[in-house]
Every structure is written in structure tokens, then in C-alpha cells.
Structure 1
Amino acid sequence: MGGTPAGGTETGLIRRWFAGLGFSQMGQLLTVALLAATALFGGLDTVNTTVTPFKPGDKFSDGAFTVTVERAAFPREVRTGTWLVAPRAPGLRYLAVVATLTNDGTVPASVDDELDLHDVPGKRFFGVFRIGDGSRITRLGPGLTEQVAAMWTMPETALRDGDSVTLRIWKKQFRELMVTYGQTWVDSVTDYGQVSVPVKVAS
């Protein structure tokens, strides 16, 4: 016999099925749907990546900041005057990349992820510090400029004098998030600037 299944229409059954899914199951379903849709258009490998190379000393704008990467060092400890910013630790050194950041926008923006250190095994992000006084900085207000050192720890044998490190600075757009989260800068997943910086290994 034909007719509607017991318990409601087909549309009602589908709604109840979706309602029974947990949050993680919904996420998996959306991921599968995204991959299936991507496959119809040739797969993930068709995404175009735009890389803008620049040199130390050049200015690069990512939308939120204008960044000038200046130099890099690999000391055992870091001091600003008498202030100990990063103490000695057995088997470790600090990669310190000095850069000048200018906030070009109208809202404060995070500086912690501004420099993306690429392809260095064993790295661990240590923080971003003001060159002037060694204080920790996490955000920079609109219209302000600050010279900073972005720092990572890594094995003391990871770099030798004269080696270079590659840094990526991802392009950003100011976007509306969910109502409860407001607006923020969001990194591109395809477009970035890239700079290679020689490293001085300090004694």
C-alpha cells in the first residue's frame, strides 16, 4: 500500500533525524558535505594560493597591520637592559625575530599570531615582547606602532649562524562572527606574505 509512513511526513522524519544528531555528528556531516561539494569542482587541490614575497626591511600590509621584519637572532637568553626576558634553559635557545608593527585599523588587534614561523622542527611559541622595555605585548591599539621581538624556543642545535628562517604573514579581513562574539580580524587560508630572514647565533 502507498501513503505516508506512520509518525508523519517524510519531511517530518528528516527533521527528527537531524534533531537527533549530536553536535559532533553534525560537524562530521557538514565536513562530509563540504568534501563532496569540493570534489564536484575538482577537489581541494584546486584552491589557488597567493604568496607575496618580500625582504627584511620591506613593509608588508596584511590588512590589519603594516609589518616590517628586520632581523633574527638565536641567543641562549634574552635581556633588555637589566630585565631578564627569557632565562637560560638546558638544551634550548630562543629564536627572536625583531619586527615593527603598525595597527592600520580602528580596533585593537592581536599580535601573538602575526608572524607564522614555518618549517622549524621543535619550535614552541614563547611570546611577543616590546623591544623598548621587554614587557609582554598581546594586542596593539589602532594607529599605534611598536617595535617587538616575536620569540620561540627550540633545540639549541636547530639553527646555525647564517641559516635563514621563513616567516609567513597571513592576509586578514575584518569579519562579523556569531552575534555573541562580535567582529574580529580573520586570517586568509590562502593568501600570505613570506619573508626569509638570516639568523645570527649569539653566544
Structure 2
Amino acid sequence: MATHRIASLTGWLRGEFGRLKLRQLRAVAAALIVAVAGLFGGLDTVNTGPTVFAADEPHSDGQFTLTIARAAVVDELRAGRRVVARAEPGRRYLGVVTTVRNDGTIPGRLLGELQLRDHPDSTPVGVFRMNDGSPATSLGPGLREQLVFVWRVPDGEFQTGTEVTLRVARKRFTELLVTYGKNWVDSPTDYAEITLPVTVK
């Protein structure tokens, strides 16, 4: 009985499609594709590029909320009278002042949180607390700190008014494949960018 019904339905569809013109067939095919895609969660959206945010505008990457204030280049890094990083011939220091809040439920790693774009001769120095210059490698859940992210850059790479672009990867909390437990993992394709003017001191 069921076989007879399927055969009847197939015959009816064949007859209906036979009466349709080419333009109508295309419309039907497009409708079928959309309907099938809807069953499996919809069609993929086209990546239109990075999210762009501005200075003093809070941006969430999923784990952290960052508010980036300014960028400056200096000869050496100081915290009061203490020298955090000494001057080196042919090199200077680019610092990006950022307020970071950990919105997650586990401590978050700060190293690599900001990525410097288009400066292949730069090297990361570290992340330091603004209030005392001490190194900050992680930030606990619910905590908020004003930090400076620092890179060593070639002397003359930046002049006052030169712009610098920084990238922040989107994160997701996921099960780790190699070790046990869950952690925040950077997306390789989903990210945000901010472009800042640089002050040279």
C-alpha cells in the first residue's frame, strides 16, 4: 500500500514538473535548496571581514572585555623610578594602554590577547600593570585591570601620527582535545581590529 502511494506521488510530481517551464523549474529548485538548507541550520553567511571598534569603546571577545585607550612609543619602560625595560640601541618600545575585564569563570591568559599587525620586525615584550609596572600574565575571573601591552620595535618604525592596527581574536569556551577540561580557544578566522594613532615620546 505504501509502495503504491509513493509510486503515485512520484508519478504526479513527474507530471507536474513536466508541465513547468525552465524558468519555473529554476524557481522550484531554488526554493527546494532553501528549504533543505533550513532543515540543516540555514545557509552559511559570507565573512564580511573583521569587526572594527574604536578607542575607548568596550569590545568583548567572549572571554575578556577590552577598552583600548592609546598607543605610544618610548625609549625605555618605567614604573615610577623603576626601569621595567631598558633602552636598547636601534630599538624602542610600543605600549598600548588597555583596560581589561575577565568576564569568564576561569583565569584568562593575557599574553597574545592583542596581536600587532603588519610589523614583522616587532617582538612581544609582555603585559604590565599600569599602577606598579609588575608583569601581568593572567587575569582572574571578574577582575579588571589597567594594563599596558608592550612590543619591542625598530627605531624609526613609528612617528607621531603613524597609525597602528591591533587584532583581537574571538574566543569560545570549549572542551580541550589534547588535555582534560575546558578552556578559552581563539578563533583563527573570527576577529576584531582597532586602529590607533601613535604618540612618539
Question: Quick check: TM above 0.5?
Answer: yes
- The answer to whether 1:53 aligns with 2:24 is no
1:108, distance to aligned residue in structure 2 (A):
0.3
**In structure 1, what is the Cα distance between the partners aligned to 2:160 and 2:46?**
37
The number of equivalent residue pairs is 157
> 2:74 is paired with a residue of what secondary structure?
coil
Q: Give the alignment of 1:38-77 within 5 angstroms.
A: 48=47, 50-77=49-76
**In structure 2, what is the Cα distance between the partners aligned to 1:181 and 1:192?**
26
1:53, distance to aligned residue in structure 2 (A):
0.5
Residues 50-106 of structure 1: CA distance to partner in whole angstroms, max 9, x if unpaired?
Answer: 411111110000000000010001000011111111111011000000000000011
Counterpart residue type for residue 59 of structure 2: F
**In structure 2, what is the Cα distance between the partners aligned to 1:99 and 1:69?**
4
**In structure 1, what is the Cα distance between the partners aligned to 2:157 and 2:180?**
39
Stretch of structure 1 that moved more, 133-142 or 79-88: 79-88
- The runs of 5 or more residues in structure 1 that have no matched partner are 1-45
Larger-gyration structure (1/2):
2
**In structure 1, what is the Cα distance between the partners aligned to 2:112 and 2:193?**
14
**In structure 2, what is the Cα distance between the partners aligned to 1:127 and 1:187?**
19
**In structure 2, what is the Cα distance between the partners aligned to 1:74 and 1:180?**
39
What residue number does 2:116 align with? 117
Identity rate of aligned residues, in percent?
50
1:182, distance to aligned residue in structure 2 (A):
2.2
Shift in CA distance, 176/92, structure 1 to aligned 2, threshold 3 Å: same
Contact kept in structure 2, 1:97 and 1:150, CA below 8 Å: yes
1:160, distance to aligned residue in structure 2 (A):
0.8
Counterpart residue type for residue 70 of structure 1: A
Shift in CA distance, 179/154, structure 1 to aligned 2, threshold 3 Å: closer
1:183, distance to aligned residue in structure 2 (A):
1.6
Residues 140-187 of structure 1: CA distance to partner in whole angstroms, max 9, x if unpaired?
Answer: 000000100000001111111110100011100011113634221101
**In structure 2, what is the Cα distance between the partners aligned to 1:190 and 1:113?**
16
**In structure 1, what is the Cα distance between the partners aligned to 2:72 and 2:180?**
38
Counterpart residue type for residue 183 of structure 1: K
What residue number does 2:161 align with? 162
What residue number does 1:79 align with? 78
**In structure 1, what is the Cα distance between the partners aligned to 2:77 and 2:65?**
26
Contact kept in structure 2, 1:49 and 1:190, CA below 8 Å: no
- The runs of 5 or more residues in structure 2 that have no matched partner are 1-44
Contact kept in structure 2, 1:49 and 1:191, CA below 8 Å: no
Counterpart residue type for residue 106 of structure 1: T
